[in-house]
Amino acid sequence: MAENYITKQEEKGTVNISEDVVAVMVAAAVSEVEGVASLGSPSTPELVELFGRKNPVKGLKIRFIDEKITIDVLINVRASGSVTDTAVHVQDAVCAEVESITGMDTVVNVHVTGISFDK
């Protein structure tokens, strides 16, 4: 992932932000959302194709497309909460975090890949 950067031309020069930095921000934001058990892993052929077999950051795919950051997040949710509400909270948290740090519009696609039951 380290080869990909967000590049923004500013008045005083260029700012480059590593994709790894964005991934750390996303993982931190997701971990703080109530109802998320963990980042997920691709379980269907479609998700394996999207995320690739050797995705270095488990559960995240980050792309820079047309001046926007598009992020796909795979999550496992806790059975004790609403799957839909949890996914929406993940979208909100990730968008807020990434947009505040990078200043770029962000699109977040949440894929719920599993349910975790409390023991």
- For position 44, what pLDDT does the model report? 54
C-beta of residue 85 within 8 angstroms of C-beta of residue 47 = no
Q: Mind listing the pLDDT tens digit for each residue in 51-75?
A: 554 544 578 888 887 778 999 999 9
Q: Please give the full DSSP string across 16-73, using - where no structure is assigned.
A: EEEHHHHHHHHHHHHHTSTTEEEE----SHHHHHHH-TT-SSTTEEEEEETTEEEEEE
Query: How far apart are the C-alpha atoms of 13 and 118, rounded to whole Å?
Result: 51
- For the chain, domains (ranges, CATH) are 5-116 (3.30.70.1350)
The Cβ of residue 48 has, within 10 Å, a number of other Cβ atoms equal to 13
95 SS3 class:
helix
Residue spans of the chain under pLDDT 70: 1-3, 42-57
- For position 45, what pLDDT does the model report? 54
Which residue in the block uniquely carries the two structure tokens 């270095």?
Answer: 56
